[in-house]
Structure 1
Amino acid sequence: MSSILFVSLYLLSTIHETTSIPHYLANNCPNSTFATNSKYKSNLNTLFKSLSTKATTNPFPPGGFYITSTGNGTSDAVYGLFLCRGDQNITGCGDCVKTATTTDLQRYCPNSRVAIIWYDECMVRFSNESLYAKMADDPSASFMNAKRYEGNQTQFFGIMWNTMNHLVGETANNRTAKKFTTKMVNITKSVTLYTMEQCTPDLTPNDCSRCLAKAIGLLETMRGARILLPSCHVRYETYTFYIGAVNYSLPLPISSNSPIHGDRGEDLTTLESLQYDLATLQLATNNFSEESKIAEGGFGGVYKGTLSNGQEIAVKRLSKTSGQGVAEFKNEVLFIAKLQHRNLVKLLGFCLEGEEKLLVYEYVLNKSLDHYIFDYE
């Protein structure tokens, strides 16, 4: 994997209305280069002009998306596209694409054959290979708020994941030119969660779903977070960050805001019945070997294992630097165990020994990490 992960303390001041100054986020430029006076450079300049013109000239491209190429049929062909955030108009979109193609890409990636640049308002890519209808989830850029939610984190976690999950199908199956969806949902009477997801419109519903699930799997439960991939992006915040927020309410996954205490007999019994010992999981996963690892995310790794009775499992090994305390971890385990949803794979149990915090899920045959959280057909 050539993925480069950009991580930031997410305290960026984000626009609430269209502005002519794009907010730069990140870029990725692999080492593949071309000569300054090459035909590829000439074709790239032509491509940049085409993208900038399309983004700044009426009619506004459907879905804020445009893909094109230059030098077709030659070894110096260049393919490129732009995707503007779904709430942007021609001014916000055009200024962003123009900045990327006339200034920033030439500054950050002066001789790259392949590059991508992300802003708050748009994304621009180019490559020496066709980009059309090809789902790409690498490289990625990640931005997380510096602070965790100060209220009931278990409740916040459940509502955030449930909302993001609900959005995937709606975004992927959008029959308009846009694969862009936003929702806002109440966490408490005074706290509202704002969420957003978007795919490039050339993707099939299945590829869009896979891309979004990969991005959501990289999210952390902070006060806000965003994951940027070449074919999609996701974001949530506790403040309005997009234009035209539409009210949308899901039932709260937990009826009480109280933490789960060990002296509650039913809850304690539930936790005890879910607990695995570390030795069992080490044996099942060949001591969490690289051969057993099936995915890696912002939370840590996921390992395929087989218990002594032949049952196949997926073990999510939480990062030791996650900062999550023991009580908070137990609360989260019990919440996930009680949460029943058709798009959530069943939690079988957990392990909490020493510094290890492990979640044990049922293993779903022929599905990737994305489906250990989401179940798309």
Structure 2
Amino acid sequence: MASFLKLFIMIMFTNNNFEFYNTTISGTTADDTAYGMFMCRGDTPSDLCGECVQNATLTLSNKDCNSSIEGLIWYDQCMVRYSNTYFFSKLAKEPFKEYVSPTKQIYQGTFNRTLFETLNKTAEEAAKAPIGKMKFATEEADLPVFQKLYCLAQCTPDLSIQDCRSCLNLSINGNIPRCCAGREGARVLYPNCMIRFELYPFYGSQLQHQQV
């Protein structure tokens, strides 16, 4: 897959869409065909998107990964995935990653109710876009003691409305109660979707170069 990943970088930089892109590169046999995709977070400027995708692809091309027939990497501002199996427009429920705020503060009651209400509202907004359109949304909610909750949801544009909502629902009502409810912040990442919440603004003008 090393040669595919190098070619993928070249194709990415000749592509004018710096939000989402997928491509198929055929080999000499069906077994040599490779499928690749990248998606940037919906609020990421084109220059940061291109830099993130390039860094992610180069990481996948290193000696530890370049012999693998499939790979997936998440950065804060993008994700890159490749495989020798066709995966476009297909909902994948694994692998997934959960990242939880290191704070030990646990919130209960009103916080959790507001969290799940806001995450589900964000998911509904992201999922309603038709296939091929950006499925990205953010929402804010007021919390006690002059705090705010910031939420983000996104799916890959190749998913149907139903599959996008299903992916986000799995994150919100499956992963979050188990790993992250009551925490000050968390991220849940799937191959087709992601959610994140924090008690500080992390999207839009708050972009930073981070690897998750």
Instruction: Settle same-fold status: TM greater than 0.5.
Output: yes
The secondary structure found in structure 1 opposite 2:62 is helix
Q: Please report the TM-score for the alignment, with normalisation by the length of structure 1.
A: 0.50
Alignment match, 1:233:
194
Q: CA deviation at 1:51?
A: 3.3
Task: Find 1:167's aligned residue among 96, 110, 122.
Answer: 122
Q: CA deviation at 1:60?
A: 2.9
Alignment match, 1:81:
37
Task: Find 1:242's aligned residue among 203, 206, 210.
Answer: 203
Q: CA deviation at 1:107?
A: 4.1
The secondary structure found in structure 1 opposite 2:30 is coil
Alignment match, 1:207:
163
* Paired residue type of 2:121: H
The secondary structure found in structure 2 opposite 1:210 is helix
The secondary structure found in structure 2 opposite 1:136 is coil
Alignment match, 2:210:
none
d(CA) in 1 for partners of 2:140, 2:63: 37
d(CA) in 1 for partners of 2:64, 2:202: 27
List gaps (5 residues or longer) in structure 1: 1-40, 246-377
- The answer to whether the Cα contact below 8 Å between 2:72 and 2:82 also exists between their aligned partners in 1 is yes
- Counterpart mapping for 1:159-308 below 5 A: 159-175=114-130, 177-216=133-172, 217-219=174-176, 220-221=180-181, 222-243=183-204
- The answer to whether the Cα contact below 8 Å between 1:51 and 1:97 also exists between their aligned partners in 2 is no
Task: Find 2:25's aligned residue among 57, 70, 91.
Answer: 70
Alignment match, 2:93:
137
d(CA) in 2 for partners of 1:89, 1:50: 23
Alignment match, 1:45:
3
Alignment match, 2:209:
none
Per-residue Cα deviation, 1:120-144 (whole angstroms, up to 9, x for no partner)? 0111111111111011120011100
Alignment match, 1:109:
65
d(CA) in 1 for partners of 2:45, 2:55: 16
Q: Please report the TM-score for the alignment, with normalisation by the length of structure 2.
A: 0.86
Higher helix share: 2
Q: If you compute each CA radius of gyration, which structure gives the higher value, 1 or 2?
A: 1
- The answer to whether the Cα contact below 8 Å between 2:133 and 2:157 also exists between their aligned partners in 1 is yes
d(CA) in 1 for partners of 2:205, 2:59: 30
Alignment match, 2:102:
146
Q: Which runs of 4+ in 1 moved over 6 A?
A: none
- Alignment RMSD, CA only? 2.0
Question: Are residues 146 and 209 of structure 1, via their aligned partners in 2, closer, same or farther at CA, if it must alter by over 3 Å?
Answer: same
- The answer to whether the Cα contact below 8 Å between 1:55 and 1:93 also exists between their aligned partners in 2 is no
d(CA) in 1 for partners of 2:67, 2:6: 17
d(CA) in 2 for partners of 1:166, 1:143: 21
Equivalent pairs counted in the alignment come to 199
Question: Are residues 77 and 57 of structure 1, via their aligned partners in 2, closer, same or farther at CA, if it must alter by over 3 Å?
Answer: closer
d(CA) in 2 for partners of 1:55, 1:243: 23
Alignment match, 1:90:
46
The secondary structure found in structure 2 opposite 1:106 is coil
d(CA) in 1 for partners of 2:15, 2:60: 24
* Paired residue type of 1:214: L
d(CA) in 1 for partners of 2:157, 2:41: 12
* Paired residue type of 1:157: N
Q: Percent identity over the alignment? A: 35
List gaps (5 residues or longer) in structure 2: 207-212
d(CA) in 2 for partners of 1:140, 1:234: 12
* Paired residue type of 2:112: F
